[in-house]
Amino acid sequence: MAQKTALIVYAHQSPASFNAAARDVAVQELTEQGYKVIVSDLYAMNFTAIATQDDIIGDLKKPEHFRYGEESMHAWKEGRLRDDIVAEQRKIKEADLVIFQFPMYWFSVPAILKGWIDRVLTHGFAYSLDKLYDNGIFTDKKAILSFTTGAMHTMFQPDGVHGDINIPLWPLQSGILRFCGFQVLAPQIFWSVAHCPPSVRTTMLEGWRARLKGVLAEKPLTFAPSELFDLSFQGGFMLKPKVREELKLQPYGITVGHHLGKALPPDNQTKAQPTDGK
């Protein structure tokens, strides 16, 4: 069998952090399994977090009105993106599995990781108008969000003070990863690590190691198939009327984002769902 490659995009400042420990567990376990493991340590790399015209080498197509998405797409096609972007894109192309390791900041990712997303997942390289979601460019790759929270698990439940964790996960897992075609595996969430005793943190890391032993065999999370939508400008890229009618009697929506005014499907962004009622 060909050697598998894992890319870990790591975003934490401190080598003494739990996130660093989770990164190290992944590196060790996957290496022992025979993976080639690549780590992008964004803070150590001093990775640029803002997307500007400095990312474009050479003349702009429309200097009178700079539009980052359009200009970076042309630059990608013509080999005119900055070297740090190109280096990260090469890592993604090589990877079978991408793990994002980070602390949750303000219900999202740290700014440096958001900058990586903005700059590296270029239009053309990571997606195009005819290559999205389950027809996306990275359908042969799997991705995991592995992150720590400051809050307890109960605080992120549907009746907890922060609300359902599935909701803030939706834009990250569907709007970014699945949008680019990744098979998105259930997130690895380390709850309230700063308030846990050392023994609990050790148990968390052991659980992460155990999960990684069979990670590529995991079933991905469930997302709405593109075939349910009229993917045309005439149809407005909306759910097909026939499908909407068929779903009327269902107790839940399709996904967190496609809730159709119904209750959110439980654990839609945190657990792979069984098939055939099993």
CA torsion angle for 172, 216, 112, 162 (degrees, to 10)? Answer: 40
Are 56 and 46 within 8 A, CB to CB?
Answer: no
Q: For 147, which DSSP code?
A: E
Phi–psi pair at 39, nearest 5 degrees: -115, 125
Give the HSE-up count for residue 219: Cα atoms under 13 Å, Cβ half-sphere.
Answer: 10
Q: What is the pLDDT along the chain (278 residues), one digit of tens a residue?
A: 689 999 999 999 999 999 999 999 999 999 999 999 999 999 999 999 999 999 999 999 999 999 999 999 999 999 999 999 999 999 999 999 999 999 999 999 999 999 999 999 999 999 998 899 999 999 999 999 999 999 999 999 989 999 999 999 999 999 999 999 999 999 999 999 999 999 999 999 999 999 999 999 999 999 999 999 988 888 888 999 999 989 988 999 999 999 999 999 999 999 987 764 44
Model pTM score:
0.94
DSSP one-letter string for 166-193: HHHHHHHIIIIIGGGT-EEPPPEEETTG
Rg, the chain, Cα only: 20
From start to end of the chain, where are the E strands? 5-10, 36-41, 97-103, 142-148, 183-184, 188-190
Q: Is 9 exposed, middle or buried (0-12, 13-18, 19+ CB in 10 A)?
A: buried
Give the HSE-up count for residue 233: Cα atoms under 13 Å, Cβ half-sphere.
Answer: 1
Structure tokens at 253: 């929506």
Are 262 and 249 within 8 A, CB to CB?
Answer: no
Displacement of CA 61 from its chain's centroid (Å): 31
Centre a 10 Å sphere on the Cβ of residue 219 and count the other Cβ atoms it contains.
Answer: 13
Are 254 and 260 within 8 A, CB to CB?
Answer: yes
Q: Report the distance separating Cα 33 and Cα 219, nearest Å.
A: 19
Amino acid letter, 249: L
Q: Report the distance separating Cα 52 and Cα 239, nearest Å.
A: 36
Angle between helices 198-212 and 18-32 (to 10 degrees): 30
Q: What pLDDT does 277 receive?
A: 43
Q: Report the distance separating Cα 79 and Cα 57, nearest Å.
A: 9
Identify the residue whose tokens are 């052991």. 206
Displacement of CA 211 from its chain's centroid (Å): 18
- Please give the domain boundaries of the chain with CATH numbers for all domains: 5-220 (3.40.50.360)
